[in-house]
Amino acid sequence: MLNWDNMFATRSSRMRASEIRELLKLLDRPEIISFAGGIPDPALFPDQAFKKAYADIFDSAAVNSALQYSVSEGYKPLREWLVGQMAGLGIPCGLDNVFIVSGSQQGLDYLGKLFLSPNDTALVTWPTYLGALQAFNAYEPAYDQLTPGGNRTPGSYREAAAQKGGKVKFAYLSAEFSNPTGETVDREGREKLLDLADELDIAVIEDAAYQSLRYDGESIPPILALEIARKGHINETRTIYCGSFSKTLAPGLRVGFIVANAPVIRKLVLMKQAADLHSSTINQMAICEVAERGFDAQVAKIRAVYSQRRNCMLAALEKYMPAGTSWTKPEGGMFIWVTLPEGMDGAELLARSLESAKVAFVPGKAFFADGSGANTFRVSFSCANETMIEEGISRLGRLIASEIG
Task: Tell whether 1 is covered by a domain.
Answer: no
**Strand-pair partners of 98:** 259
Q: In CATH, what number is assigned to the domain containing residue 375? A: 3.90.1150.10
Task: Tell whether 6 is covered by a domain.
Answer: no
**Is 19 a residue whose pLDDT tops 90?**
no
User: Helix axis angle, 187-200 relative to 154-163, nearest 10°?
Assistant: 50
Q: pLDDT per residue over 375-405, tens digit each?
A: 999 999 999 999 999 999 999 999 999 998 7
Residue 317's domain comprises: 11-46+297-404
Q: What is the mean pLDDT of residues 100-104?
A: 95
Q: pLDDT per residue over 255-277, tens digit each?
A: 999 999 999 999 999 999 999 99
The secondary element (H helix, E strand) that includes residue 170 is strand 168-173
Last residue of a domain, one of 254, 275, 294: 294
Q: pLDDT per residue over 41-56, tens digit each?
A: 999 999 999 999 999 9
* Number of domains observed in the structure of the chain: 2
Q: What is the mean pLDDT of residues 8-17?
A: 73
pTM of the model: 0.94
Clarify whether residues 303 and 290 are in a common domain. Answer: no
Q: Which residue has the higher pLDDT, 72 or 19?
A: 72
The secondary element (H helix, E strand) that includes residue 81 is helix 76-88
Clarify whether residues 290 and 330 are in a common domain. Answer: no
Which of the 8 DSSP states describes residue 116?
P
pLDDT above 70 covers what percent of the chain?
Answer: 96
Last residue of a domain, one of 294, 313, 336: 294
How many other C-beta atoms are found inside a 10 Å radius of the C-beta of residue 115? Answer: 22
Answer whether 77's CB lies under 8 Å from 288's CB: yes
Clarify whether residues 278 and 203 are in a common domain. Answer: yes
Clarify whether residues 184 and 80 are in a common domain. Answer: yes
Clarify whether residues 231 and 344 are in a common domain. Answer: no
Kindly report which listed range (17-21, 54-58, 90-94, 102-106) carries the lowest average pLDDT score.
17-21
Q: pLDDT per residue over 120-169, tens digit each?
A: 999 999 999 999 999 999 999 999 999 987 788 999 999 999 999 999 99
Clarify whether residues 341 and 202 are in a common domain. Answer: no
d(CA 328, CA 344): 18
